[in-house]
Each structure stands twice: as structure tokens, then as C-alpha cells.
Amino acid sequence: MTNKSLAKRPEDTCVLVTGGAGFIGSHTCVELLAEGYRVIVLDDLSNSSKEAVRRVRRIAGAGGERCAFVEGSILDRDLLGRVFAENDVDAIIHFAGFKAVGESVEKPLEYYWNNVAGTLVLCDVARAHGVKNVVFSSSATVYGEPEFVPITEDCPKHAPTNPYGQTKSMLEQVLSDLYAGDGEWNVVLLRYFNPIGAHPSGLIGEDPKGIPNNLVPYVAQVAVGKLAAVGVFGDDYPTPDGTGVRDYIHVVDLARGHVAALRWMGGKVGTGEPRGLGSVAGEPAPDGTRRGVGIFNLGTGRGSSVLEVIAAFSRACGRELPYVIKPRRAGDIAVNYAACDKARDELGWVAEYDLDRMCEDSWRWQSMNPDGYAS
Ligand code: NAD
Ligand code: UFG
């Protein structure tokens, strides 16, 4: 079966956003709606709330009418069948999945089942309805301990140290093999670095359940007085101040990267040259829509240390945030940051916002919603 064409206007394009009520998904829906796309959010709310979708609609204003919500799982084949049968879906942006690194070590079966089996079911039902345009949320975790920084897309992949990371690596392989077996597939693998920040409205943001595992949500809860002090995991790394260095990227920039990927898949940006650095280029369809597997890092290209993040957040919230040095966290690497030239050159996308802006927006969200969507 031929693939759906993306060579059309956003107004005529319907995007199924799995996991669209989540942190990155909700911000991506806002950007899609702002560009005129029609959006269907499919989310089982296992790590999010319906309130996020309401707020996405609020931010979108009149465009909010183009955002439908379906509560359910990507593992539910019958439900997916109905979603595809009742809607003229053109493309999928696939965020749905579990993402807690530590939890994945304790619950490998749940992680492989939800992330891997869920994606297989999704792709199978999509294919049966002629939808072979997929943007997938991958992660810098697929590089493992990187062989060099800044990390380019052709940096060799290394085995991730946890089941969560394994699911990302496996699903990159699965999606690449779909194209290898059927040249109609048009796949983009987006390898995110460290998404933080929130929408500047303060209406949507990251809402972790329980004590946050990730640095910025933890710092934000210290800033709002819910936690006493930030634990800094190691100050003896070979970095300028001894703490770990990461490439933090504003979630709004990241969200816009998905819109850029959709345009690129539709043949609307890029040079048309063979895709370098890890990607596999296919012959474009007669309508100019691309075929193949495009791989892109989404980061800023700049690394910041844990202490720099705490300092930036302190500036944002107007007080020195307390921290204590703790032992290194198992599995952490010293430094990772992205080379983003490929996304710039081919997608026409660059991250705009700096660390201060990320922390300001994160602080606005946290202070307006100290208990997240339950506030
Ligand atoms: P999130 O948990 O906020 O969003 C994921 C969403 O998927 C949630 O709303 C959850 O309810 C939903 N979901 C989970 N399983 C589902 C299922 N079976 N069916 C339907 N919905 C389901 O996480 P996020 O930070 O927005 O991440 C989105 C994607 O990006 C994930 O795939 C994640 O692994 C990936 N990613 C995230 C980061 C990060 O640091 N946040 C980094 C790299 C990659
Ligand atoms: N850190 C602390 N204290 C904390 C939490 C984190 O010092 O309370 C440090 C970590 O040691 C690391 C940095 O802050 O140096 C960033 O840690 P995060 O947990 O925020 O992010 P990671 O880089 O460890 O993990 C992120 C994503 C994962 C993904 C991984 C690899 O959250 O999903 O990048 O790409 F797998």
C-alpha cells in the first residue's frame, strides 16, 4: 500500500500525537496547532493528565478546536483501528512510552512491553491504514558513553546501560528495518538531548510524579520550597567544575523541531541531497515527499554543568538555591552535548533559547503550578 502524502498544507494534514498529553507532547501540540495542523492526541494518561490537553487548547485559542483527544493506549489494537478508521491520519508523532531510567531497571518487562510492543502495535495498525510517516522520540541515550563530543549523528551507538535506553535503541532499529523492508516508509528519528523549560505562558510544563529523577524538575521543587536542597551527583568528573555536563534544550525549541521534521518529510525544506550522517535516503515519492530514515540530534550544541544549571535557576527565582555534593549516580556519563549542524542544514531548525530562558520559563510554570496539574 502506498504511503499517505505529506505534500500538502498543514490545514489539510492530520497528525496523530501519541503521548500528546505528556511534557514534550503537549508542547509539540501547541506548535502544531499554531502552524495550522489538525491534531489527535492519543494518551492513556499513565504519566499525564487531561488538564494538559485542556491547557494546550487554551493556549491555541481558536486553533484549539483542531485538537481532538482520545484516552487510551497504543497497545489497544481495536482502539487504534477505530482512530485510524474514523480519522484521515497522515502522520504520527510518537511520544508515548515510559521514560524513567531507574524504574526501567526494576520493571524491564513493563518497559519493553509498553515501549516496544506498543510501538509494534501502533506501526502495524498504521500500516494497515496506509500511514507510514512516523516521527519517533529517540534519545541521546542511544550513544551510550559517547566516543566523542560534540556528538554527531554518525557517532557509533553503544549499548545503553538500562532497559529504557535499550527500548529507544531497539525501536530505532525496528523503524529503520520497516523502511528497509518497504520503501514507502518515511521515518524520522529525533535524538533529544536534555529537554527542560516550559511554555512561556506558564500553563503547561513538566509534571513528574513523586520525587523528580531529573535535575531541573528537582531544582524547581527546591526553588518552590517542596524539597530542601539539590543533591549534586558527583563533583569529581573531568569537567571544568567537576559536575556533569549536559546539553539542555528548551522544550519549545524541541517541539518546533518536530514541526520542522514534518515539513522536511513532506519535501518542503532541505536540499534534496542524500541524507548524510546516519540517515538512509530513499527515492522521494513522485509528489516530492521523502522516503527513508532521517536521523537528527535535537540539542543546542552547548554543554552546561550541574552547578551552572543551579546558578541559572537561582537567578531565575531570585534566591541562592542550596545544594549538597553527593556521590556519583550509577550509569551517569561525564559530558554529553550535541552537534546540531545536521538539523540546522537539513531541517532548517536551530534552538533559540538559552539556559537562563529555560530556567525562567521552568520557574514560571513551577511557581504558577507548585503541584503541577493538580494545583
Ligand atoms: P511524558 O511521560 O511526559 O510523556 C509520555 C506520555 O505518553 C505520557 O503522557 C503518558 O501518559 C503517555 N503514555 C505512556 N504509555 C502510553 C501508552 N501505552 N499509550 C498511550 N500513551 C502512553 O514524557 P516526555 O518527557 O514528554 O517524553 C516523551 C517521549 O520522549 C518519550 O518517548 C520519552 O522516552 C522521550 N524522551 C524524553 C526525554 C526527556 O528527557 N524528557 C529525553 C529523550 C527522549
Ligand atoms: N543530576 C544531579 N542531581 C539530580 C539529578 C541529576 O546532580 O538530582 C545530574 C546528573 O548526574 C547529570 C545531570 O544532572 O549530570 C542531568 O541529569 P538528568 O537526570 O536530568 O538527565 P540525564 O542526562 O541523566 O538523562 C537524560 C534523560 C534520559 C536519557 C538521558 C540520556 O532524562 O531520558 O538523558 O540521554 F536517557
- 139 CB under 6 A from ligand 2? yes
Active site residue 143: no
Give a yes or no: residue 253 inside a domain: yes
| Ligand 2 nearest-atom number relative to CA 192 | 35
- 101 CB under 6 A from ligand 2? yes
Among all bound ligands, the one having the nearest atom to the CA of 192 is 1
Interval 218-242: pLDDT, tens: 999 999 999 999 999 999 999 999 9
Rounded to the nearest angstrom, the distance between the alpha carbon of 148 and the centre of ligand 1 is 28
pLDDT at 48 over 70: yes
What average pLDDT does range 171-180 have in this prediction? 98
282 falls in which pLDDT band (50, 70, 90)? confident
pLDDT recorded at residue 274:
59
Residue tagged active-site, from 37, 111, 143, 164: 164
Give a yes or no: residue 163 inside a domain: yes
Residue nearest to atom 25 of ligand 1 (CA): 23
Give a yes or no: residue 46 inside a domain: yes
- 95 CB under 6 A from ligand 1? yes
- Pair 27, 197: CB distance under 8 Å: no
Give a yes or no: residue 306 inside a domain: no
pLDDT recorded at residue 272:
61
pLDDT at 15 over 90: yes
- 212 CB under 6 A from ligand 1? no
| Ligand 1 nearest-atom number relative to CA 94 | 32
pLDDT recorded at residue 27:
98
Give a yes or no: residue 156 inside a domain: yes
Give a yes or no: residue 226 inside a domain: no
271 falls in which pLDDT band (50, 70, 90)? low
Closest-CA residue to 244 (of 235, 256, 257): 235
pLDDT recorded at residue 360:
98
pLDDT recorded at residue 276:
76
Closest-CA residue to 40 (of 75, 91, 6): 91
- 354 CB under 6 A from ligand 2? no
pLDDT recorded at residue 73:
99
pLDDT at 273 over 80: no
Number of separate domains in the chain = 1
What average pLDDT does range 129-137 have in this prediction? 98
pLDDT recorded at residue 269:
83
* CATH number of the domain residue 126 falls in: 3.40.50.720
Give a yes or no: residue 258 inside a domain: yes
pLDDT recorded at residue 333:
95
Give a yes or no: residue 207 inside a domain: no
Domain, as residue range, for 39 = 10-196+248-299+340-351
